[in-house]
Chain A
Amino acid sequence: MAERERLGLRLRIFLFFALIVCLSAVAIGAGTWAAAVRLGPEALPHLVLTGGSAWFVIALAALLIWQKFDENVARPIVALSHELERESTATAARAGVNTAPARYLGALGPAIERATGALSEERAATAARIAAATREAETAKARLESVLSELKQAVIICNREHLILLYNTEAVRLLGVPETVGLGRPLSTLMRDEPIRHALERVEARYRAGRHLAHPDGLSIAVLTTTATGERTLAGRLGLIVDGTGGEVSGFAISLGDVTQQIEAASARDRLIWDMIDTLTPPLAALAAMGEILVAPGAPEGEARAAFDAAVAAESHRAAEAIATMAERHAGLRSGVWPMEDTYSPTLFACVVGRLPMSLQGRVRVEGEGLWLHAETYSIVELLAHVLKRLMPGTGAVALAAERRGGNVAVDLLWGGEPVSLATLEAWLAEPLDHALGHLTGRDVLARHRTGFLPNRAPDGRVRLRLPLRAPIHDHEGAPAMPLPRRPEFYDFDLMNRALPADLAGQDLRHLSYVVFDTETTGLNPSQGDRIVQIAGVRIVNGRLLRGEVFDELVNPGRPIPAASTRIHHITDAMVANRPPVEPVLRRFHAFARGAVLIAHNAAFDMRFLGLRQAEAGVRFDHPVLDTVLLSALISDPTAEHTLDALAERFGVTLLPEERHTALGDSIATAMVFLRMLDLLAARGIRTLAEAQEASDTMVALRRRQSY
C-alpha cells in the first residue's frame, strides 16, 4: 500500500506537469484557431509556427521544472519516507536517518533528524531497561535457586489444587522417594494432606476476615503432619500465597523439618517420668506410712515389729532398684530438645579460635585429622572458648585436636606444663557462658551433651583435657548419597493456574503430565521367559522435559542375560547381580508414573513387559498410553521409517553417543521427539488425549490389516 503511494507521488507530479503542457497546447490551439478565423487562411502557417514555438517553449520549460522538482522534492520525499519506514520498523537503535536528499526541503530534514534521534534514544533506553530487568530477574531466580538448594528446611510450594510447583533438595531428602517428589504431582503423595488442608482452611479464614493484618503470624500458620507412610513426623509452617495486596489466594508455601526424633525423645522422656512415678510411688507410700507407724505411740513390737522391719528393708531395696532402672533408661534417651547436628571438627575449632581475644588466638593451634562429631555446636564452641580463656593465662600454647575414642569422638585441649585442678575446672564450669544461651553454665552444656571433661595426660606427655562427644549420626565418608543434580528443574510456576486433570481424555496434549519410559530386557519374548533388566523414565510436565526428575533402575532378572542382548544395552550379569528383583522396582516406577500418561517408543512391547509381573508387584499399569511409533505414522509419509534413530534425525533431536541406547537416553530422545511432534499433530487436528488415542487406534487397525 505504502509502496504504491510512494510511486504515485512522483507519477502524480509528472502527470500534473503533463497536464500543464496539455492545457497550454489546448489554449494555444484555441488561440491559433480564433486568430485564423479573423485573419483568414493565409495567416494560418504563421500562426501555427508561432503557436507551435510557444507551446514548444512552454513544454520544454515544464519538462525542465518537472525534472528539478522531481529531483529535489519528489525523490527526496520518497527517499525520506523509505528511511522513516525503515527506522520505524528497526528493532535496535541505528546510525540514524540519512537526511542528505532533503537539503532543498527547508526545515524538514533537521526536524526529521531530531525526531528520529529522539526515537532511537528512547529505543536504546527501553532496550537497556529490558536488559536490566531481565538481568535482575535472572539474578533473583539464581538467588532463589541457590537459597532453596542450600536451605536445611524442606520447602514446597503448591497451587490451590495442592499440585507441587516448587521443591528443594531438602524436600526430596526429607520426603524420601525421588520418584514421588515432582512438579505437578499432588502433595498428598508425599505427606498426609489433611493437616495441611486444615491449616490452610484456618489461615484462609483468617485472611478472608482480614484478621491476618493484626494477627502476630500474619498469613502463616504452624503445621504438624507426617510423611505419606507415616514414618516421619514433620513440623513447620504454612504460608498463604496471595496475588498482590488483598488479591486471590493462588497457592501456599510450606517449610518443614523432621521432628520425628524430637517428638520421640519428648514422649520417651514423658514415659520415663510417668513410669518413674508409677514404680516409685508404691514403695515410697509404704515406706512413708511404715516410718510414721514405727515412730508413733503404740508402734508394733515383737513379731509384728520384725514384719515391719523386713517390709521396710524390702521396699527400700525396691525403690533403689527402680531409681537405678530409671537412671539407665534416662541415659539411653537421645537428647532431642537441643538442635544437635553433625559438625566437622576443623569448622568447630575455627569457631572456637574466632571467639578468643586476639592476644590468645595466636597461641592456639589445631592438630591432627578432621573428624565429624554430633553436638549442639554453638554451646560447645562457647564452652571451649570459655575454658580456653580461663586456662590460657596460666599455660603456653594450647592445641585443639579431635580423636576417635570407642564409639565417640573426643575433643582434646593439649598443653605442656601443669594440669589444671579439678576444683578450678569446676569453678570455671559454674560460670555462666554467653548471654545468648540464657545464663547457661558450662556444666549445663556438659549435662545437655551428657559428657564431662576428663583431665589426664596424652601419650606424648602433654597435659590433656578431654571432652568426649557423640559420633556423627550420618555417614560423611565417601560420596554424598544424593544422586540428584544440584539444581534440577525444581519449579514450574506455570502450574499455578492448572487444576488436577479430572478428565484426562479431553485434556490438551500440551498440558498433560507424561512419563516417557523405556525398558531394557533379556530378550524380545516375554512369553519365553525374557525379563526386564532396566527401567528408565523421564517426566514431561506442562510441555517441559524435566531432566532432573528421572527414574533409572537396574533390575535383577533372575536369569542370565544373553550375550546378544548385552551387546545392545551393555548391561551384564555382574551389573544386575546386587540389584533388586523386578517387583519393588515396578512398585517404585508405578509411583513415579502416578497420574501421568505413559509414552514409549513401540509402547506395546514395553507395556507387555510391565504387565507381565504387575500382579506380583501389587500394582496395575492402567495409565493411558501413547506410542511414538504410531504418532509418527500419523504425521509422516507412509513409507518413512519410524525407528527412534530415524525419528530423532527427522525431528533434529541430538543425543550424546553415550546416552543413546541406554534406557534413560532413549527415554529422553523419545520425550524430545514427542514434544516436537505436538505441533504437527495439532496441524492434523489431534489436540487432546482422546483424539491422539483414537487416531492411534485407527493406525493400529490399519497396520493390522496391512500385515494380514
Chain B
Amino acid sequence: MSQQPSFIEKYANPTFFMNLSGKIVPWLTALTVALLSLGLYFSMTVPDDYQQMGTVKIMFVHVPMSILAMGAYAMIAISSIGSLVWRHPLADVSAKVMVPIGMAFCFLALVTGSIWGRPMWGTYWVWDARLTSMLILLFLYMGLFAIWQAFEEPSRAGRAAAILALVGSINLPIIKYSVIWWNTLHQTASVLDAAKITKPALDKAYLPAFFTMLIAFSLLLVLLHMKAMRAEILRRRVQARRMRQVEQAGSSATAHMVTN
C-alpha cells in the first residue's frame, strides 16, 4: 500500500523549490529593483533634519540593515530548528546560505552606524549596549561561517551550526531591548515599536523613504536567500553525482580485477 506524501514532503522538497523559485525570481528581481530605485529617489529628496541635517539620510540604509541583520539571524534559528528536529534538507540549506548574507547586512549596519555616529556623537564607536550586542551578532555570524567552512560533511556542519545558531539567538532580544534595559548613547526605536507604530516619533516627511527602503532591502534579502539556496541545491546535486561517479568507477575496477 503506497502512503500519501505529507504536506512537507510534497511542497518543501528541493525539486518543488527549484521549480517554484525559478518562476518567482524574475518577478522578485524586477520588484526589488523598482522599489530600490523608488526608495533611493525618496531618500535623496527628503528635506534635511533641523538637528541631524543631511546625515538623516543615513537612517534609510542603516535602520533596514540592522533590522534585516537580526531578521536573517532569526531565519537561521528557525531553519536550525527544522534541521535539528526534522532533519529537513531544505532547512539545512536555508540556514547555511543565510549566514554570509546576514553577515553582510550586519557588517553594513555596524559600518553605517559607526559613520553616522562620528558627526552626531563625535565618535565612531562607543562600547554601548546596542553597539556591543550588534558586534556580538557579527561574531556569531562569523562563527557560523567558520563552522560551515570547517566541516567537509554538510550534515555534521549543519548540526554544529544549528546548535550555535540556537544558542546565539538569545542575543536577538538583548539587541532589541538593550536601549531600554541599559542607559545607552544609541536612541530607542522611533518607528518599529509597538507603542509608537501608530504615532511614530519619526517625522512623517521621512516615513515614505524609510518604509520603501525597508521593504526594498527586505525583498533583496529574500531574493538573495532564494538565489543562494538554488546555488546550494545545485552544488549538492553536483556533489552527489560526483560521489556516484567515483563509486561506479570503484565498483567497475573491482569487477575488472575479479574477472582477471
Q: A and B bound?
A: no
Taking beta carbons and an 8 Å cutoff, which residues of B are in contact with A?
A: none
Taking beta carbons and an 8 Å cutoff, which residues of A are in contact with B?
A: none
